[in-house]
Chains A and B, each alone.
Chain A
């Protein structure tokens, strides 16, 4: 029983990291209607910036996170402006391939700057652990922090898109770009803003990912990025609470599958569940089926 609880906590811990990455995916998809495959690599860049700020400049952790957010926001806006905006009218496949290109570009640039030697992320956010059942159940401060960050970000994003003028503009762009433009909304600026917010979230996700799993390499963001994308689809891509639920479920399924079925089948199981869910609910758990007008 204790070991089940331990796996559950570990699953939630892993899942909350997936969830926070998935929020970035889902937000960009929901508004710009494109899959930003470079999102995982923006996370990696964010983690490296925070690493450098803490290790080389000895900045306090909170300042390091703000620094990483600033760099990632700028990076997100630049990527969108240079790589995606010129392709706004092209087929979605072209944008998708460009995103994959950007992903490789970021990875290889990181390889040049920081080399392939793994770095250990400083444990700046560990404030000790909570131990229950004679130390058989350990909850780390990173886990708690990630979950709190998740809830705060989820609520903030929901309020932002629902209540503010910019948020309403985003939803309008997401529903119909052309109509939004006719209503006087600056579509390009709105999409830029979406990327800025998504990339700032990526910086936070990078720091939280590397606080929980401290090995930092140029490829650090890619697999969690793909898993988080899966989580976003699982929860219903475009839906903010869906990303959160999808991420948590994915983490828990992965850990419990590895623990009780087989470590070799853990990942296969995750994707099998995804396939089953999509067969029965093609829009994901919380996604709204959209009827295409013909």
Chain B
């Protein structure tokens, strides 16, 4: 019995020392709230953000200097729960938010954060509504419509097409928004979009033969698909039946096509996808990130993980530049960070980023291409 007591006493002592140590550390550390769906239907996005942010924090803390403490809260992709999570992290001393992961919670939390004056940098909520009319909410990812502009620039820069066809969903704001910015940018930079080959469908469409025929008959060598992967898979199938093999170029909605049950990956061979991050890039930062991420989760990081990693680095760099430390109040931090983000330029895993005063990011578009059922970086 005595022996047991001794052990208990020792354990208690250790715990207390550790508690003191972490308390001492936490006092100086910069506290960043990370909010996203770690459970539920959208859990793959939220968990990716959580672990991506964790890798960034580990790297920063290993360098010494200003330390980071991440405060994770689950919102289950529910706006109401997300607001609770936001209040929780504030109560626990968060000075800024790297989040939230998904769009509708982010719009809800953004409104609260605007009232409370807490700086928010979302890794991945991509709707323009996330930042609209809020001077303290910023994005790491492109907004949905900005993907159209970025795609056009990428196609022009890499000479992927002479004649372009577009098939988009005119019953969907995401798809129509990207389509509109794409044709505007295409006209501005001199890409030829064939008017007869611009066709539409709706969520109820089962037959895509007319749309694919129009592209084929117009002689288009690239078909731009600003749509989700389910209709895209039907379009690829139809094109194959018609022996039509142009370059297909999709945006982030295309992500997931390879995970469809029963999907024949050979249909997607050579499909381009606009994405800020490819896990097989050869630079040191990406390699280190991918290696550590795989160690933690056993999975290859997706773009959400990379966006969250960049979000933490951007917040950290801006905080250091502005002289924010663990003792700055969130209101002060907010005003200082807003000022910093007007001039901040940071190179992360998803490119070199700058921000405008609306909170939208600007960075070089990059794309991956599908080869043998894998995403690989495209080099021409």
- Which A residues form the contact surface with B (CB < 8 A)? 3, 6-7, 10, 13-14, 51, 55, 117-122, 129, 135, 138, 140, 209, 213-215, 217, 223-224, 254-255, 258-259, 263-264, 266-267
Contact: A267 with B204, CB < 8 Å?
A: yes
Contact: B230 with A217, CB < 8 Å?
A: yes
CB-contact partner of B200 in A51, A118, A121, A263, under 8 A:
A263
Closest to A2 in B: B217
Q: Which residues of A contact B234 (CB under 8 A)?
A: 213-215
A13 to chain B, nearest CB (A): 8
Known: A3-B217, A263-B201, A263-B214. 5 other contacts (CB 8 A): A213-B206, A215-B233, A224-B206, A255-B207, A259-B213
Contact: B213 with A118, CB < 8 Å?
A: no
Q: How far is the CA of A129 from the CA of B243 in the complex (A)?
A: 11
Please judge, given known A-B contacts A7-B213, A10-B209, A264-B170, whether A119 and B230 are in contact too, CB under 8 Å. no
Query: Does B172 touch A at the CB level, under 8 Å?
Result: no
Contact: A122 with B202, CB < 8 Å?
A: no
A60 to chain B, nearest CB (A): 17
Contact: B241 with A138, CB < 8 Å?
A: yes
Q: Which residues of B contact A209 (CB under 8 A)?
A: 206
Q: How far is the CA of A49 from the CA of B278 in the complex (A)?
A: 38
Q: Which residues of A contact B210 (CB under 8 A)?
A: 7, 10, 255, 258-259, 263, 266
B232 to chain A, nearest CB (A): 10
B41 to chain A, nearest CB (A): 9
Please judge, given known A-B contacts A119-B260, A138-B241, A138-B243, whether A255 and B209 are in contact too, CB under 8 Å. yes
Q: Which residues of A contact B199 (CB under 8 A)?
A: 263
Q: How far is the CA of A3 from the CA of B217 in the complex (A)?
A: 8
Q: How far is the CA of A168 from the CA of B209 in the complex (A)?
A: 42
Q: How far is the CA of A51 from the CA of B260 in the complex (A)?
A: 14
A-B contact count, CB below 8 Å?
75
Contact: A117 with B170, CB < 8 Å?
A: no
B168 to chain A, nearest CB (A): 10
Please judge, given known A-B contacts A121-B262, A138-B243, A255-B207, whether A6 and B230 are in contact too, CB under 8 Å. no
Query: Does B362 touch A at the CB level, under 8 Å?
Result: no
CB-contact partner of B241 in A117, A140, A267, under 8 A:
A140
Show 19 residue pairs from A and B whose CB-CB distance is below 8 angstroms, ordered by the A residue: A3-B217, A6-B209, A7-B210, A10-B209, A10-B213, A14-B206, A117-B260, A119-B262, A140-B241, A209-B206, A214-B234, A217-B230, A255-B207, A258-B211, A259-B213, A259-B214, A263-B211, A266-B210, A267-B202
The size class of the interface chain B forms with chain A is 20 to 34
Contact: B230 with A135, CB < 8 Å?
A: no
CB-contact partner of B243 in A117, A120, A135, A214, under 8 A:
A135
**Which 3 pairs between the two chains have the least Cβ-Cβ distance?**
A120-B262, A223-B204, A10-B209
- Which B residues form the contact surface with A (CB < 8 A)? 170, 199-202, 204, 206-207, 209-211, 213-214, 217, 230-231, 233-234, 237, 241-243, 259-264
Q: Which residues of B contact A122 (CB under 8 A)?
A: 262
CB-contact partner of A118 in B202, B260, B264, under 8 A:
B260
Contact: B233 with A264, CB < 8 Å?
A: no
Contact: A55 with B262, CB < 8 Å?
A: yes
B225 to chain A, nearest CB (A): 14
A265 to chain B, nearest CB (A): 10
Please judge, given known A-B contacts A14-B207, A224-B206, whether A264 and B200 are in contact too, CB under 8 Å. yes
Q: Which residues of B contact A264 (CB under 8 A)?
A: 170, 200
Closest to A54 in B: B262
Q: Which residues of A contact B217 (CB under 8 A)?
A: 3
Q: Most chain-B CB neighbours within 10 Å: which of A10, A122, A214? A: A10
B31 to chain A, nearest CB (A): 37
Q: Which residues of A contact B209 (CB under 8 A)?
A: 6-7, 10, 255
Contact: A120 with B213, CB < 8 Å?
A: no
Closest to A129 in B: B241
B93 to chain A, nearest CB (A): 39
Q: How far is the CA of A140 from the CA of B261 in the complex (A)?
A: 23
Q: How far is the CA of A129 from the CA of B240 in the complex (A)?
A: 12
Contact: B200 with A3, CB < 8 Å?
A: no
B171 to chain A, nearest CB (A): 10
Contact: A118 with B170, CB < 8 Å?
A: no
Contact: B261 with A117, CB < 8 Å?
A: yes
Contact: A215 with B230, CB < 8 Å?
A: yes
B316 to chain A, nearest CB (A): 37
A49 to chain B, nearest CB (A): 15
Contact: A120 with B263, CB < 8 Å?
A: yes
B105 to chain A, nearest CB (A): 20
Q: How far is the CA of A7 from the CA of B260 in the complex (A)?
A: 29
A269 to chain B, nearest CB (A): 12
Q: Most chain-B CB neighbours within 10 Å: which of A217, A255, A258, A266? A: A258
Q: How far is the CA of A111 from the CA of B358 in the complex (A)?
A: 39
Q: How far is the CA of A10 from the CA of B209 in the complex (A)?
A: 7
Q: How far is the CA of A215 from the CA of B257 in the complex (A)?
A: 12
Q: Which residues of A contact B259 (CB under 8 A)?
A: 117
Q: How far is the CA of A140 from the CA of B207 in the complex (A)?
A: 14
Closest to A251 in B: B207
Q: Which residues of A contact B206 (CB under 8 A)?
A: 14, 209, 213, 223-224
Q: Which residues of A contact B233 (CB under 8 A)?
A: 118, 120, 215
Please judge, given known A-B contacts A213-B207, A264-B170, A267-B202, whether A138 and B262 are in contact too, CB under 8 Å. no
Q: How far is the CA of A121 from the CA of B237 in the complex (A)?
A: 12
Contact: B260 with A3, CB < 8 Å?
A: no
B219 to chain A, nearest CB (A): 13
Contact: A120 with B242, CB < 8 Å?
A: no
Q: How far is the CA of A6 from the CA of B262 in the complex (A)?
A: 28
